[in-house]
Structure 1
Amino acid sequence: MTATTLPPAPAAPSGARRRIGPFEALGHGLTLADRNLRHILRTPTTLIDTVIQPVLFLLVFVFLFGGAISGTWQDYLQTLVPGLMVQITMYASIGTGMALNTDISKGVFDRFRSLPIARSAPLVGAVLGDVVRYAVAVTVLLLLAFALGFRVQTDPFSALLACVLVVVFGLTLCWLSVLVGMVVSAPQAVPGIAMAVILPLTFGSNIFADPETMPRWLELWVSVNPVTHFVDTVRGLMIGGPVAGPLTVSLIAVVVCHVLLLPLALRAYLRKVR
């Protein structure tokens, strides 16, 4: 009896991609997020800006303007720290767009295309990996603030919830950074364009001064600025005050930002990596 030789399986057509399910795609994204974390651990200098910004903002505003705004820098410290938690997270979100643009410019995405991974994996990995940047920025700020005399006046659970909400806000703003990073041609252009949007949101808010001391037109802008409501939420959780109202507005703002920015960012990303 002679053995029957089976015909070889037909080769997959050139350029065909295997269909990847959502859970497998998430696994690919987590793998690339781990890649970003390992890169940070090997080259911690990439976090220099994330560490320096909280220190500079806290020291400059507390000791230069604290007395003029609140009478003493100690009183201003209590008010300023929750607001700075929101601001520095917004600034840290700029790194997402820069990292994606850098990978594309250096040809890293060409290598990703040759791998059997979901096209969304590099984007998911970049966004999740940048949670570390937010956590480092907030941790450095709070450690220095505690050393200067800042104290949580509510409870540990409320303070932890405030930190989680700040990270959520940073993840929301990162879609703006992704959109900018996919539109511009060079990584160096990302900070300038992103800051043109972020600066009016941060300085046109209640982070640094009481809106009642501002001109009427600016006070109106501050009252509708979502950053103001986020800062009120964090302050309420950290040092006491209303939480339910500002938190509701903040969560609505998060949903609206996702509805507006996420589709635009994904469309620009898929167009860039196609």
Structure 2
Amino acid sequence: MTVPPLPATRASMLHDSLVMTGRTLRVTLRYPAVLFIAIVFPVILLLLLTASFATIVLPGQSYSAYVDFSLPLFAVMGVLFSTLGTAAAMLNDLQAGFDARLRTMPISASAPLIGRIAADAVRNLITLVLVVAVGTVVGFRFTTDPASIAGFFLLPLVFAVGIVWLVLAAAVRARSAESVTAGLNAAFLVASFLSTGMVPLADLPSWAQPIAAANPLSLLVDAMRVLAHGGELARPLLGTVAWAVGLTVVFGPLAVLGYRHRRSAGQPAR
């Protein structure tokens, strides 16, 4: 009869989670396609769409004005696509039996999930910094105080916590990493383009305006614009936080239950 390992202390849970975070970050390097989509793709879109649409979307204004307007969306797209690496890595670990092997070791049961979420936050922050750095080269500028600038980087990370739970809930029910990343990639692209990130709400087609107004990405990019350049913050900020909390409450338990089931079964979902 196998004796289950003793419950991990808080100190050991923190240590185990940090170890899993480092391991997850290293595994990310095995998915160059995901890194390309998360970092290079948003930067390419930023440069191409600025050159193509700046004078159309904001007639009479400079290219840098459009960069100030649109950069929050491209930074958020990088964050969204970064979570695809989390989904692919976790699903591959489950199918390869890595997580099942972890069950035989005296580590915290929550460490693998915590480590993946923490690693996702680190990747997201790196993505945000790189996209903003490129944006700064082509004209993006902050015009607010340091606290607001810090909020500009923090708010997408808060929103990403809800998104990563959604991604993990989808991953534990998928048959392959390719299927889950392809499906989520398409969903994230549609959500990005049907938002107020590239075009003001009033300039969107009439059929798209209700969709964009209800899109949580619109709230997030609006809040980031205010944090970068000033304005009324309460509505988009509270809306973004509410979506992050709602996604966590709904998909967090689904991800945990699905993860436990897949880890116990040690085989792909059917």
With the length of structure 2 as denominator, give the TM-score of the two structures.
Answer: 0.88
Q: Percent identity?
A: 26
**1:22/1:269 CA distance change after superposition, 3 Å:** farther
1:163 lines up with 2:153 in the alignment: yes
In structure 2, the partner of 1:125 is: 115
Is residue 181–residue 190 contact of structure 1 (8 Å, CA) maintained in 2?
Answer: yes
Q: Deviations over 1:188-230 (max 9, x none)?
A: 1121121243233221110011111223332112112221111
Verify: 1:70 aligned to 2:51, yes or no. no
User: Is residue 214 of structure 1 aligned with residue 204 of structure 2?
Assistant: yes
Matched, 1:60 2:65: no
Match of 1:262 among 243, 252, 258: 252
Alpha-carbon distance in 1 for matches of 2:27, 2:86:
14
CA contact (8 A) 1:93 1:171 kept: no
Looking at structure 1, the residues matched to 216 and 39 of structure 2 have their Cα atoms a distance apart, in angstroms, of 25
* Counterpart pick for 2:135 among 145, 149, 156: 145
1:268 positional shift: 0.9
2:231 alignment partner, SS class: coil
CA–CA separation in structure 2 for the residues paired with 1:64 and 1:81: 15
Closer, same or farther: CA 80–24 of 1 in aligned 2, 3 Å: same
1:196-235 alignment, distance < 5 Å: 196-235=186-225
The amino acid that maps onto 2:253 is P
Which of 13-22 and 142-151 deviates more? 13-22
Question: How many residues get paired?
Answer: 261
241-250 or 17-26: which moved more? Answer: 17-26
What residue number does 1:3 align with? Answer: none
TM-score by length of 1: 0.87
- The code of the aligned residue for 1:215 comes to P
1:4 maps to none
Give the structure 2 partner of residue 90 of structure 1. 80
Counterpart code for 1:113: R
Partner of 2:172: 182
Q: Report how far residue 39 of structure 1 moved.
A: 4.8
Q: Point out where structure 2 has 5 or more consecutive residues left out of the alignment.
A: 265-270
Match in the other structure for 1:244? 234
Q: From the superposition, tell whether residues 255 and 48 of structure 1 become closer, same or farther in structure 2 (CA, over 3 Å).
A: same
For the residues of structure 1 that align with 2:195 and 2:50, how far apart are their CA atoms?
17
SS of the residue 1:272 aligns to: helix
Task: Give 1 or 2 for the bigger CA radius of gyration.
Answer: 1
The question of whether the paired residues in 2 share the 8 Å contact of 1:229 and 1:246 is answered with yes
Instruction: Answer yes or no: is the 8 Å Cα contact 1:92–1:134 preserved in 2.
Output: yes
